[in-house]
Amino acid sequence: MNLRLALCIAYAGVVFGISSIPGNRLPSISASDYLIHFFEYVALGTLLMWWRLRNPAISIAGALCQAIFLGSLYGLADELHQYFVPYRCADPVDWVADTLGSAVGALAVLVLFVVFSKRSGPIEDMRD
């Protein structure tokens, strides 16, 4: 297993751990729940895209689609998990925020990837 995949799995574990905290034990935060979900999944989308770009057998567009899909799928699983946690609920709008966050994180990595590839040579050389 490579470091990039290990970081994705570790971060997903952190998200799972936070989602396992019963709702009555969560600290009150003034930020919107949807914003918290969004930024939590921006980080996951970033890690997923960084991992998928490593595979030269996958096109860059394919890597982007996979990162967004995996982030969205994990967000769905996370919402279903929260359904079974006391004082938590499965909220479809949270899942939308998770998916949008994954997309923004993956797109940010793609933009940085393209910017840096223009400075250092062909994109294929940067995927190693």
For residues 33 and 31, which has the higher predicted lDDT (pLDDT)? 33
Counting the structural domains of the chain, the total is 1
Q: Is 10 inside a domain boundary?
A: yes
Query: Tell me, what's the pLDDT at 29?
Result: 77
Query: Which pLDDT band holds residue 118 (cuts at 50, 70, 90)?
Result: confident
Closest alpha carbon to 101 in 63, 44, 60, 56? 44
Query: Tell me, what's the pLDDT at 122?
Result: 56
Residue 126 clears pLDDT 80, i.e. is over it? no
Residue 79 · residue 89 · CB < 8 Å: no
Q: Is 41 inside a domain boundary?
A: yes
Burial of 106 (0-12, 13-18, 19+ CB in 10 A): buried
Q: Is 48 inside a domain boundary?
A: yes
pTM of the predicted structure, to 2 decimals: 0.88
Q: Which domain holds residue 59?
A: 3-21+32-126
Q: Is 27 inside a domain boundary?
A: no
Query: Which stretches of 1-128 are assigned E, i.e. beta strand?
Result: none
Q: Is 116 inside a domain boundary?
A: yes
